């Protein structure tokens, strides 16, 4: 199932709807009629108010959960079971707490039948890439939150995914580490060109790295706007690009779209508080 | 810089205070034991309480000495101890293996667990000790009937914990492992069982006690050897010191087994963050 550095296929979501049964037994629509098209090897950032259904969208695309309605195609094939070649950096901690850092990173290759010595060697290289050499034998609970996140990145990227789901992967990192990791991610992406869905709350980050920014509405979420980011690549360091005029223009445009939703989300929360 | 010396003084002082406290606890424990045994001895010596019913510490020691030196009516005392231990250990091992296996199986296959739940609850509600009589009828007076009873007692404790452990696996971890390419069997091996291990281990302490109870009760119900037989013989002879003596031996066995398990537990759960009261071991 490990792809050989081939670039990812395109991702097409059509009329995707997901309903959950809440603990009180009611049906609750998390996302409704979502349509997103991501070209092969493209980088798509998703922004939207909290709780609107961004994580749900990624979960469905990766094949971890089933749709209530609609279809998702990846590289032309409908999603059924875990999508082949997918990698997923989860929003929450997902490292196996009983495995050491190196065993966590080597887990993916081992599950894919790569011999142990080779998997360990590869894991060591990836730990070096995320700057965690020397922490091989620590257990996850002995690391800081940011370090755990980096291990998780390594554990995902080591499988060389052709399709990459990233759910706020850098939110636990400090500003400097975040900049380094973002640049590192861009380098890796330029090399193997997976198709990426990247959820973030940081609009600057979204514009700086993505080909396309999707703005979602408050829950039940649907796609509000899609913005093509026409900044030339390679874009170089994220820190510099955000002062370019085109960047600022795009930022203003997208922020206007997003702000409405965020404000509505807060207004709805406030209304709920009053009725409660 | 300036108060470096004072820091050392403070650390030294704290260490001394902790040591003094530990000594005090130890002294208190020994004192409690001495007073308890002393009172028991004196009260029975003075016939304030009847030594026939309550025995006495010296009587117990003499009884045990006699058993260890001269043996019992059915062989050496060491052999009786060994028989009971063998029954408990075998019962413990079979019970734990079966409990973990079925706990994981039912935890992983909801349909199976939905079908089986009422029956398991029913069997669990039975006073399982009476099963001992059936096992004696089925399997005779030898070792198998005791092992069976011990295993059944152990099974239910471990089974429920293993099942609960499987049910409370973090779904996020399962999703992570599935994305990385884990098959169903890989999931059980690398995610489900390790995650249920802390639940299972918690049950092992209770299970250990049950395995000894199972063996002894089994021997009570009918046996040719073992500490349970020693106790029931002593009981029939109104040999109070004998009953207490055998009890003491069982207690020593149970505590040693508990200690061994503590060591095993530490190995198995090395990955866990230190709990609040043994944090001192990891931090300086
Ligand atoms: N397994 C589930 N069962 C019931 N409801 C769920 C489940 N998963 C998500 N939801 C609901 O679906 C909605 C969308 O959740 P989701 O996690 O996709 O939001 P999000 O956009 O990722 O939010 P955030 O930015 O805070 O991470 C929420 O209201 C949530 O309560
Ligand atoms: Mg989310």
Q: Give residues 99 to 138 of A whose Cβ lies within 8 Å of B.
A: 99-100, 107-108, 111-112
CA distances, B15 to each of B6, B12, B23, B282 (Å):
14, 5, 12, 16
Which pLDDT band, with edges at 50, 70 and 90, does B280 fall under?
Answer: very low
Q: How confident is the model at residue B282 (pLDDT cuts 50, 70, 90)?
A: very low
In a shared domain, residues B96 and B226: yes
Q: Do B43 and B69 lie in a common domain?
A: no
> What tokens does A2 get?
């490990």
CA distance to partner chain A, nearest, from residue B174 (Å): 9
Minimal Cβ distance to B179: which of A62, A93, A139: A62
The CATH number covering residue B67 comes to 1.10.3720.10
For chain A, how are helix, strand and coil distributed in percent, rounded to 5? 40, 20, 40
Task: Check CB contact under 8 Å for A90 and B197.
Answer: no
Alpha-carbon gap: A87 to the closest alpha carbon of chain B (Å): 6
Q: In angstroms, rounded to a whole number, what is the distance separating the alpha carbons of residues B107 and B70?
A: 52
d(CA A59, nearest CA chain B) in Å: 9
| CATH class (in words) of the domain with range A1-85+164-169+194-276 | alpha beta
CA of B241 to the centre of ligand 1 (A): 67
The structure tokens 């779209």 sit at A257
Contact A134, A116 (CB under 8 A): no
* Subunit contact A1:B172, Cβ cutoff 8 A: no
Structural domain count, chain B = 2
Query: E-assigned strands of A22-130?
Result: 27-38, 43-47, 69-74, 77-78, 86-89
Mutation pick from A83, A88, A102, A107 vs chain B, by most beta carbons of B within 10 Å, is A107
Backbone φ and ψ for B32, nearest 5 degrees, come out as -55, -45
Does residue B279 have a pLDDT over 50? no
For B60-77, the pLDDT digits (tens) are 999 999 999 888 888 899
Q: Would you say residue B212 lies in a domain?
A: yes
Mean pLDDT of chain B: 88
A66 lines ligand 1 (CB under 6 A): no
What are the domain boundaries of chain A? 1-85+164-169+194-276
Same domain, B34 and B68: no
Sign of the C-alpha dihedral, residues A269, A270, A271, A274?
positive
| CB-based contact, A84 to chain B, within 8 Å | no
Confidence of residue B170 (pLDDT cuts 50, 70, 90): very high
Output phi, psi for B178, to 5 deg.
-65, -45
Closest CB from A82, A90, A142 relative to B172 = A90
Token pair for A122: 């590869």
DSSP characters over chain B: -TTHHHHHHHHHHHHHHHHHHHHHHHHHHHHHHHHHHHHHHHHHHTTSS-HHHH--HHHHHHHHHHHHHH-BTTB-HHHHHHHHHHHHHHHHHHHHHHHHHHHHHHHH-HHHHHHHHHHHHHHHHS-GGGHHHHHHHHH-SSHHHHHHHHHHHHHHHHHHHHHHHHHT--HHHHHHHHHTT--HHHHIIIIIHHHHHHHHHHHHHHHHHHHHHHHHHHHHHS-SSSHHHHHHHHHHTT-HHHHHHHHHHHHHHHHHHHHHHHHHHHHHTTTSPPPGGGGGGT--
Closest residue in chain A to residue B271, using alpha carbons only: A98
Same domain? B216 vs B247: yes
Atom number of ligand 1 nearest to Cα A216: 21
Stretches in chain A below the pLDDT threshold 50: 1-5
Indicate the residue of A59, A87, A97 with minimum beta-carbon distance to B271.
A97
Task: Compute the distance from residue A49 Cα to the ligand 1 centre, in Å.
Answer: 11
Residues B149 and B73 in one domain: yes
Q: Are residues B167 and B247 in the same domain?
A: yes
Looking at the structure, tell me whether residues B159 and B63 fall in a common domain. yes
Atom number, ligand 1, closest to the C-alpha of residue A54: 21
Of A64, A100, A139, the CB nearest to B178: A64
Which pLDDT tens digit goes with each residue over B146-166? 999 999 999 999 999 999 999
Nearest CB to B179 within list A86, A92, A142: A86
- Residue among B35, B59, B32 nearest B45 (CA): B59
With an 8 Å Cβ cutoff, are A82 and B172 in contact? no
Tell me the chain A residues in contact with residue B197 when contact means C-beta distances shorter than 8 Å. 98
pLDDT of res. A276: 67
Ligand 1 touching residue A53 (CB < 6 A): yes
B66 and B32 assigned to the same domain: no
In sequence order, the 6+-apart residues with CB closer than 8 A to the CB of B138 are: B145
Asked whether residue B145 is assigned to any structural domain, the reply reads yes
Would you say residue B1 lies in a domain? Answer: no
| Domain closes at, from B33, B49, B65 | B49
d(CA B113, CA B108): 9
Q: Is the CB–ligand 1 distance for residue A51 below 6 Å?
A: yes
pLDDT at B281: 41
Tens-place pLDDT, residues B222-266: 888 999 999 999 999 988 999 999 999 999 999 999 999 888 888
Cα separation, B200 vs B162, in Å, equals 5
Domain identity same for B24 and B129: no
Contact criterion met (CB below 8 Å) for A165 and A86? yes
pLDDT at position B275 is 59
CA distance B208 to B192: 23
State the pLDDT at residue B3. Answer: 55
What is the reported pLDDT for B39? 93
Which of B15, B30, B49 is where one domain is finished?
A: B49
Residue A50 beta carbon below 6 angstroms from any ligand 1 atom: yes
Contact call for B195 and A98, based on CB within 8 A: yes
Same-domain status, B35 and B76:
no
* Residue A75: exposure state from Cβ atoms within 10 A (0-12, 13-18, ≥19): middle
Q: What is the pLDDT of residues B109-134, one digit of tens each?
A: 999 999 998 998 888 888 888 888 88
Domain span including residue B194:
57-283
The pLDDT score that the predictor gives to residue A137 is 92
Q: Say how many residues make up chain B.
A: 284
In a domain, B271, yes or no: yes
Q: pTM (2 decimals)?
A: 0.81
Which residues of chain A lie closer than 8 angstroms to B185, CB-CB? none
Interchain contact A192–B (C-beta under 8 A) = no
Which residue, among A134, A180, A132, has the nearest Cα to A158 in the 3D structure? Answer: A132
Residues B38 and B62 in one domain: no
Nearby residues for ligand 2 (ion, Cβ within 5 Å)? A 55, 91
* ipTM for this prediction: 0.89
Please, which pLDDT band fits residue B4 given cuts at 50, 70 and 90?
low
- Asked whether residue B106 is assigned to any structural domain, the reply reads yes
């Amino acid at each position: 199932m490990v792809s050989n550095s081939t670039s990812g296929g395109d991702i097409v979501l059509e009329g995707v709807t997901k309903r959950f049964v809440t603990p009180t037994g009611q049906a609750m629509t998390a996302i409704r009629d979502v349509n997103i098209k991501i070209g092969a090897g493209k980088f798509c950032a998703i922004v939207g108010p909290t709780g609107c259904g961004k994580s749900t969208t990624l979960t469905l695309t990766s094949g971890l959960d089933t749709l209530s309605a609609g279809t998702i195609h990846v590289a032309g094939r409908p999603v059924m079971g875990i999508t082949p070649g997918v990698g997923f950096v989860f929003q929450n901690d997902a490292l196996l707490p009983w495995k050491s850092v190196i065993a966590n990173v080597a887990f993916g290759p081992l599950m894919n039948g790569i011999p142990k010595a080779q998997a360990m060697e590869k894991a060591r290289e990836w730990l070096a890439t995320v700057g965690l050499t020397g922490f091989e034998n620590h257990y996850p609970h002995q690391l800081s939150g940011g370090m755990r996140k980096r291990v998780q990145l390594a554990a995902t990227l080591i499988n060389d995914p052709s399709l990459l789901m990233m759910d706020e992967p850098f939110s636990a990192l400090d500003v400097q580490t975040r900049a380094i990791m973002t640049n590192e991610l861009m380098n890796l992406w330029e090399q193997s060109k997976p198709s990426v869905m990247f959820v973030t709350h940081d609009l600057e980050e979204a514009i700086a790295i993505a080909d396309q920014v999707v703005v979602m509405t408050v829950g039940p979420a649907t796609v509000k706007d899609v913005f093509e980011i026409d900044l030339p690549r390679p874009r170089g360091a994220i820190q510099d690009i955000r002062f370019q005029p085109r960047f600022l223009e795009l930022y203003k445009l997208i922020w206007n779209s997003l702000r409405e939703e965020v404000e509505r989300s807060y207004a709805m929360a406030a209304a709920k508080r009053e009725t409660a | 810089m300036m108060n470096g010396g004072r820091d050392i003084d403070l650390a030294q002082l704290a260490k001394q205070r902790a040591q003094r406290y530990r000594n005090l606890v130890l002294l208190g424990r020994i004192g409690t034991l001495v007073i308890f045994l002393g009172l028991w001895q004196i009260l029975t010596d003075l016939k304030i309480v009847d030594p026939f019913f309550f025995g006495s510490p010296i009587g117990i020691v003499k009884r045990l000495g006699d058993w260890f030196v001269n043996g019992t009516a059915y062989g050496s005392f060491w052999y009786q101890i060994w028989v009971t231990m063998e029954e408990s250990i075998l019962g413990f091992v079979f019970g734990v293996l079966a409990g973990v296996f079925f706990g994981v199986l039912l935890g992983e296959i909801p349909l199976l667990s939905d079908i089986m739940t009422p029956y398991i609850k029913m069997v669990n509600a039975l006073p399982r000790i009476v099963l001992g009589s059936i096992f004696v009828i089925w399997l005779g007076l030898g070792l198998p009937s005791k092992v069976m009873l011990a295993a059944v007692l152990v099974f239910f404790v471990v089974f429920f914990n293993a099942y609960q452990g499987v049910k409370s696996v973090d779904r996020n971890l399962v999703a992570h492992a599935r994305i990385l390419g884990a098959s169903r069997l890989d999931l059980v091996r690398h995610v489900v069982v390790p995650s249920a291990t802390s639940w299972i281990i918690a049950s092992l302490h209770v299970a250990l006690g049950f395995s000894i109870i199972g063996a002894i009760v089994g021997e009570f119900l009918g046996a040719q050897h073992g500490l349970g037989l020693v106790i029931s013989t002593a009981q029939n002879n109104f040999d109070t010191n004998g009953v207490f003596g055998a009890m003491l031996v069982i207690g020593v066995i149970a505590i040693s087994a508990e200690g061994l398990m503590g060591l095993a537990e530490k190995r198995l759960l090395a990955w866990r963050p230190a709990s609040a009261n043994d944090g001192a071991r990891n931090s300086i």
